[in-house]
Chain A
Amino acid sequence: MNKNESRFWRKMTTASLSLAFLLSSVTAKAQTSLDARNIMERVYGQDTSHDFTMKADFEVYDRQGQSTKKEFTYMRIGTPEDQKTLVAFTAPKEIRGVVLLSINQQRTAANQAAANQAAANQAAANQAAASQYVYTPATERVRSVVQQERSARFIGTDFTFEDIGEGVLEEFNYKRIGDADSIDGHKTYKIEATPVEQGRSQYKYIYYWVAQDVPVILFAEFYDAQGHKVRVLHATTLKRENGVWGARHTEMRTVADGTRTVLTINGVKFNTKPDEKLFTPQGMAEVLGNSAGK
């Protein structure tokens, strides 16, 4: 698979995984002696739970300030090496019942090489990544889905697939460039992230402001290949759940368009042991009924 592209729905289903990253579990105590990578590692620390469920919504504002809201339930089971995630949209009615499933098996070096070798063959490529599905109730169909550009918008929000995608930590080099700024009452580290390889990111560089007292990104600015600021992220309402810190409101603003999207997390549960049959293409149609009560 082209490294400049990510799997459309895999990213989609891992969107909330990134949100979970924002809730990532680290020790609460700030450690000012950390270097930039250490700081980011703490932000992107692993969630050790067997499964994770949350209810959230995206509220998308157009340039006139009118908004539309999409509510969804996110479920994950398994470890990052063998992980299955579901996103079931619950509102509005136009998208109610749409379910996205991603079955992720983290590639080892060996199967990555095999996949790269077979990248030209869709059969092999499908086999390597035939693990993203979408269920649409209007057609009552489950189908596998294909790639999207990393810079494409995620389901019409101001987040791009790259913004919400996985593997962010390894794909960038980090430099701590300040610690004097204070945001929403939190002292912050200002970190500059630049892509390890040109072309792997839509961005030339990103500035992060990470709270010094809790491991959460409070603010970020994203700069495109020409060095223009294209997006601004602002996270608020920090909460700790099951030892994991995170923001309950995250706003992403697109500078040029004047549009913005607010992600609001309304409830988080760990280790509820959902029915694993739901995490199969055959079980997707049942997801909404099962997840609705959770």
Chain B
Amino acid sequence: MISALWQITFRQWGTHRLRVAMTTLGIALGVAVYFAIRTANAALLDSLTVTVERLAGKSTLEVSAGETGFPEAALDTVRATPGVKLAEPVIEVIANTAFQDEGSLLILGVDTTGDQQLREYEFDRSQTQVADPLTYLAEANSILLSRSFAERHGLKIGDHFPLFTAHGKMSFAVEGIFKPTGVGEVFGGNIAVMDVYSAQVVFGRGHNFDRIDLVNAPGVSVNDLQKRLQQRLPAGLEVERPETKGQSLENAVTAMRLGMMITSFIALLVGVYIIFNSFTIAVNQRWKEIGILRAVGVERGNINAMFLVEAMVMGIVGSAVGVAAGYYLAIGASAAMGSIAASVYGIVSTEVAPKLHWDYALTAFGLGVAASIGGAWMPSRAASYLNPILALHNIEARQKESALGWGRALFGAALLALSVLLIEYSPSGVGLTFQLSYAALMLIGLTILLPMLVHWAARAVRPIMDMVGGSEGALAVDAMIQSPRRSAATVGALMVGLMSVYSTAAYIQSYKQMVSRWTTELLNSDIVVTSSTLLRSSSYHFSEDLGKKFETLPGVREVENVRFTLVPYEGDSAAIVSIEMPGFLKRSMNGIKGGDPQKLWTMMPRGEGVIASKNFAVRWRYKVGDRVHLDTPTGPLELPILGIVEDYRSDKGTIFMDRAVYKRYWNDDAVDFIDVELKPGQDPNVVKREVQSVTNGTEHALVYTKLEFKGWIDTLVDKFFMLNYMQLVVAVIVAVAGIANTLVISVAERHREFGIIRSIGGYRAQIRKMVLLEALSIAVVGVFVGAIAALFNTEFLSRTVSTVLAGYDVPFYFPWLLILETLPAVIAVSLLAGWIPARHAMQASVIEAIGYE
């Protein structure tokens, strides 16, 4: 029996090659995106691991204290600890070159007299290791370059090149060139090595190290040594295995990885819609055939199996193609993710080609097949339950579809309501998987409701289409109304894409508004000078001398030095903003909530308290009056929270404290921002030019007026959301593919209908117009349901996702204007997607079309 049914299926495939091809392609696209993103994610993690390994060399443990570094006396303690075979200090700096392209260079400050035992440097064989080791040690501006960087910039031993340091622009002498292996492969080969003590001087690290890399002695276990060191070192210093650092880096890019995974699931979801759509049409096309099969005694189960096996075979082929294509897609995705990790998160990584992970391939393959079967499940079931008597009537006498039943609609609405309740009221600590299920519930609910939504929307649009498009317009909408299941599938693909576009845009807009309020309340200096094109640089800083130079300018009233860094906190990390408090309080008092202003004024400048950001307070369940305990490199520090502010510079939460306290406990006087307040009546643009005249050519400093700074923050937000924009592109591509696929299938399904219209005198142009108007109707209805779906999804993003990823919720804002603005674009894309099917329908032979069935 199965064999006979398979022959029927095979014959159908031969007849409807285009439908089969488009359906298989739909699966392939979903699987490819899913597999590519998983593979690219793995490649990014491999890259981070390789970077950590290369930078750590053979060290088995690392001593560090977040980004702030720690006093170098710790090195003596580490070296004096029994079980330490070798311990070497490290400073890591990403320095800006003063080349035209303003590229950056990862500088590893190490003690090269001993460090080659820990790390692998291969010096150019044509040179003699370091050209002159004595000069290399003696001159603070001596540097060893990786060959790739040297070649890119035409540098050779003895040459000089400019770098921005804590003391302004300095010329560095190339004392050696090493091969791009080992450490040289990190950061795309843009790596240099210099003496650790010279690095301290030129990059303003005082007598601090960023890290100590160490190796345990034979016979001493790493765990034992780790415990021993933790007992001997101050609590603010962390002793970790290098691989743990890799985990920390992974955590830093969690948001990006999660975002990409969500994108890949969207692609798979659209794949399911395409399958659902395709099989719904297949069942419609084969209505009569199914009726005959049932009439001659073929059981329901066999009919069901026939469609499911067909779906499975398509799934197998599509998934295989998807895995193959996904592997190549992963190369591009991997490069994009590496770029985002570098530019948004400031993470140094090494280029690692994506590997073929068989487990991912099998998972993607399995998901593709399962999605195919899942997508075909409902249409197959519908086919198997078909009434043979009704089915044997002409195709126009199809039984009414049950997709519009009220029971079904209530069930969909219930799921949607449940998801909204969970988004609004569920606690934040229930776990990411559970929280993502809110979105799944929402999508399932919307999918179930979709035929009804499409039906209502199409009925609403019909009079307009009738008026605008004439009889062809009415017929086009009728085609949608008469086949709600197929129309729902088409609109569903569009809905998912547009929902993604609208809700992401809404989220970004909401975020920007929130950030705008933040900059008004807290970041409101007349002029801001920053050390990085990103929100901050973890390794490049100004010295306090620069601020002193600004103070001498005639238009300047006051200067505040700001340090913004990450420190270890409760097994994770927290941001610290240290600033000269009197000036900060004067500017920002209105933004501080929940504290006693008198206490803030008196205690904060004396370093007797901290101000916590809202996300820090929420994350660690603090309120005003609670005490925050910090383990600093010089000992414990415990201070009360005197106020709460909204601050969005770190998803880990931020603690504000007086700069003097920070300097004392962290032994760090580096500066990341300089806030400049002007004397009354001064023109900010004039003073900005004066500030620039101090920094130009000597400092890698970006100078902004208040207004420009706001714009710059907006640009940073855009950079942060670059990933989301990429997701939008994927969503749009998949949605367009869905529309094209659906229209191709729709045209194929209505082949006979078009033939009949032609046979009764309809023009070819009318057929084309009908198809195009149907595409237009789909677009309009798609925008409508996409907007509805986006309402729910925006709430999910701004509350659940935002809280999970950043620790705070984002005020809800919905982009009505954007929806109206995108309508013409969506219509244009739909018409474009419908053009080929329309031409296909127009050119079909009447005789052939009438005899189609």
Query: A residues engaging B (CB < 8 A)?
Result: 8-9, 68, 70, 89, 94-95, 97-98, 120-123, 126, 134, 136-139, 141, 143, 145-148, 152-153, 155-156, 257, 259
On chain B, the number of residues with a Cβ less than 8 Å from chain A's Cβ atoms is 32
A121 and B83 within 8 A (CB): yes
A156 and B113 within 8 A (CB): no
Q: A122-B86, A123-B81, A148-B113 are in contact. List 7 more A-B contacts (CB 8 A).
A: A98-B134, A121-B217, A134-B137, A143-B197, A145-B113, A153-B129, A156-B130
B128 and A98 within 8 A (CB): no
Determine the distance from Cα of A151 to Cα of B672 in the docked complex, in whole angstroms.
Answer: 45
Determine the distance from Cα of A253 to Cα of B130 in the docked complex, in whole angstroms.
Answer: 19
Chain B residue nearest to A125 in the complex (CB):
B85
Min CB–CB distance B63 → chain A (angstroms): 14
Chain B residue nearest to A132 in the complex (CB):
B113
B138 and A120 within 8 A (CB): no
Partner of B218, one of A97, A120, A156: A120
Determine the distance from Cα of A257 to Cα of B128 in the docked complex, in whole angstroms.
Answer: 9
A139 and B113 within 8 A (CB): no
Partner of B133, one of A89, A137, A155: A155
Please indicate the chain B residues that have their CB under 8 angstroms from the CB of A9 in the complex.
113
B80 and A123 within 8 A (CB): yes
Determine the distance from Cα of A145 to Cα of B217 in the docked complex, in whole angstroms.
Answer: 19
| Given A156-B128, A156-B131; A136-B137 close (CB under 8 Å) | yes
| Given A94-B139, A122-B217; A155-B134 close (CB under 8 Å) | yes
13 residue pairs from A and B, CB less than 8 Å apart: A8-B113, A94-B139, A120-B219, A122-B79, A136-B137, A136-B138, A139-B195, A139-B201, A143-B111, A146-B111, A152-B129, A156-B128, A259-B128
| Given A70-B134, A134-B137, A138-B198; A146-B84 close (CB under 8 Å) | no
Query: B residues engaging A (CB < 8 A)?
Result: 79-87, 111, 113-114, 128-135, 137-140, 195, 197-198, 200-201, 217-219
Please indicate the chain A residues that have their CB under 8 angstroms from the CB of B217 in the complex.
120-122
Min CB–CB distance A12 → chain B (angstroms): 9
A120 and B139 within 8 A (CB): no
Please indicate the chain B residues that have their CB under 8 angstroms from the CB of A70 in the complex.
134
Min CB–CB distance B87 → chain A (angstroms): 6
Please indicate the chain A residues that have their CB under 8 angstroms from the CB of B82 in the complex.
121, 123
Min CB–CB distance A201 → chain B (angstroms): 20
Nearest 3 A/B pairs, CB to CB: A146-B114, A120-B217, A156-B132
| Given A123-B84, A138-B201, A145-B113; A156-B140 close (CB under 8 Å) | no
Min CB–CB distance B174 → chain A (angstroms): 14
| Given A122-B85, A139-B198, A153-B128; A147-B114 close (CB under 8 Å) | yes
Please indicate the chain B residues that have their CB under 8 angstroms from the CB of A97 in the complex.
138
Please indicate the chain A residues that have their CB under 8 angstroms from the CB of B134 in the complex.
70, 89, 95, 98, 155-156
Please indicate the chain A residues that have their CB under 8 angstroms from the CB of B128 in the complex.
153, 156, 257, 259
Please indicate the chain A residues that have their CB under 8 angstroms from the CB of B86 in the complex.
122
Min CB–CB distance A121 → chain B (angstroms): 6
B130 and A146 within 8 A (CB): no
B138 and A95 within 8 A (CB): yes
Please indicate the chain A residues that have their CB under 8 angstroms from the CB of B81 in the complex.
123
Please indicate the chain B residues that have their CB under 8 angstroms from the CB of A121 in the complex.
82-85, 217
Please indicate the chain B residues that have their CB under 8 angstroms from the CB of A98 in the complex.
134, 137-138
Determine the distance from Cα of A240 to Cα of B84 in the docked complex, in whole angstroms.
Answer: 49
B132 and A138 within 8 A (CB): no
Chain B residue nearest to A139 in the complex (CB):
B197
A94 and B138 within 8 A (CB): yes
A139 and B140 within 8 A (CB): yes
Determine the distance from Cα of A121 to Cα of B80 in the docked complex, in whole angstroms.
Answer: 9
Q: How many A-B residue pairs have CB under 8 A?
A: 81
The listed residue with most A CB atoms (<10 A of its CB), out of B79, B134, B200, is B134
Determine the distance from Cα of A120 to Cα of B81 in the docked complex, in whole angstroms.
Answer: 12
| Given A138-B138, A139-B200; A123-B113 close (CB under 8 Å) | no
Chain A residue nearest to B89 in the complex (CB):
A143
Min CB–CB distance B195 → chain A (angstroms): 8
Determine the distance from Cα of A141 to Cα of B209 in the docked complex, in whole angstroms.
Answer: 14
Chain A residue nearest to B131 in the complex (CB):
A156
Please indicate the chain B residues that have their CB under 8 angstroms from the CB of A143 in the complex.
111, 197
Please indicate the chain B residues that have their CB under 8 angstroms from the CB of A95 in the complex.
134-135, 138
Determine the distance from Cα of A141 to Cα of B137 in the docked complex, in whole angstroms.
Answer: 11
Please indicate the chain B residues that have their CB under 8 angstroms from the CB of A146 in the complex.
111, 113-114
Please indicate the chain A residues that have their CB under 8 angstroms from the CB of B138 in the complex.
89, 94-95, 97-98, 136-138
The listed residue with most B CB atoms (<10 A of its CB), out of A97, A134, A136, is A136
A122 and B84 within 8 A (CB): yes
Min CB–CB distance B220 → chain A (angstroms): 8
Please indicate the chain A residues that have their CB under 8 angstroms from the CB of B137 in the complex.
98, 134, 136
Partner of A136, one of B79, B80, B197, B219: B197
Please indicate the chain B residues that have their CB under 8 angstroms from the CB of A136 in the complex.
137-138, 197-198
A141 and B79 within 8 A (CB): no
Determine the distance from Cα of A8 to Cα of B140 in the docked complex, in whole angstroms.
Answer: 20
Please indicate the chain A residues that have their CB under 8 angstroms from the CB of B113 in the complex.
8-9, 145-146, 148
Chain A residue nearest to B137 in the complex (CB):
A136
A122 and B87 within 8 A (CB): yes
Min CB–CB distance B153 → chain A (angstroms): 22
Min CB–CB distance A49 → chain B (angstroms): 27
Please indicate the chain B residues that have their CB under 8 angstroms from the CB of A155 in the complex.
132-134
Min CB–CB distance A2 → chain B (angstroms): 11
Min CB–CB distance A111 → chain B (angstroms): 18
Please indicate the chain B residues that have their CB under 8 angstroms from the CB of A152 in the complex.
129
Chain B residue nearest to A58 in the complex (CB):
B134
Min CB–CB distance A67 → chain B (angstroms): 12
Min CB–CB distance A77 → chain B (angstroms): 23
Chain A residue nearest to B87 in the complex (CB):
A122
Determine the distance from Cα of A94 to Cα of B131 in the docked complex, in whole angstroms.
Answer: 13
Min CB–CB distance A29 → chain B (angstroms): 40
Please indicate the chain B residues that have their CB under 8 angstroms from the CB of A123 in the complex.
79-82, 84
Partner of B135, one of A94, A126, A145: A94
Min CB–CB distance B93 → chain A (angstroms): 16
Please indicate the chain B residues that have their CB under 8 angstroms from the CB of A145 in the complex.
113-114
Please indicate the chain A residues that have their CB under 8 angstroms from the CB of B195 in the complex.
139
Determine the distance from Cα of A257 to Cα of B126 in the docked complex, in whole angstroms.
Answer: 9
Please indicate the chain A residues that have their CB under 8 angstroms from the CB of B130 in the complex.
156
The listed residue with most B CB atoms (<10 A of its CB), out of A95, A122, A147, is A122
Determine the distance from Cα of A120 to Cα of B219 in the docked complex, in whole angstroms.
Answer: 9
Chain A residue nearest to B126 in the complex (CB):
A257
B133 and A156 within 8 A (CB): yes
Min CB–CB distance B503 → chain A (angstroms): 55
Determine the distance from Cα of A146 to Cα of B197 in the docked complex, in whole angstroms.
Answer: 15
Please indicate the chain B residues that have their CB under 8 angstroms from the CB of A259 in the complex.
128
Min CB–CB distance A260 → chain B (angstroms): 13
Chain B residue nearest to A259 in the complex (CB):
B128
Determine the distance from Cα of A89 to Cα of B197 in the docked complex, in whole angstroms.
Answer: 19
B197 and A141 within 8 A (CB): yes
Please indicate the chain A residues that have their CB under 8 angstroms from the CB of B85 in the complex.
120-122
Please indicate the chain A residues that have their CB under 8 angstroms from the CB of B135 in the complex.
94-95, 156
Determine the distance from Cα of A277 to Cα of B79 in the docked complex, in whole angstroms.
Answer: 26
Min CB–CB distance B853 → chain A (angstroms): 86
Please indicate the chain A residues that have their CB under 8 angstroms from the CB of B87 in the complex.
122
Chain B residue nearest to A127 in the complex (CB):
B80
The listed residue with most B CB atoms (<10 A of its CB), out of A9, A94, A147, is A94
Please indicate the chain B residues that have their CB under 8 angstroms from the CB of A153 in the complex.
128-129, 133
Please indicate the chain A residues that have their CB under 8 angstroms from the CB of B201 in the complex.
138-139
Chain B residue nearest to A92 in the complex (CB):
B135
Chain A residue nearest to B88 in the complex (CB):
A146
Min CB–CB distance A70 → chain B (angstroms): 7
The listed residue with most B CB atoms (<10 A of its CB), out of A70, A126, A138, A155, is A138
Determine the distance from Cα of A137 to Cα of B138 in the docked complex, in whole angstroms.
Answer: 7
Please indicate the chain A residues that have their CB under 8 angstroms from the CB of B198 in the complex.
136, 138-139
Please indicate the chain B residues that have their CB under 8 angstroms from the CB of A94 in the complex.
135, 138-139
Determine the distance from Cα of A97 to Cα of B135 in the docked complex, in whole angstroms.
Answer: 11
B84 and A138 within 8 A (CB): no
Determine the distance from Cα of A165 to Cα of B753 in the docked complex, in whole angstroms.
Answer: 99
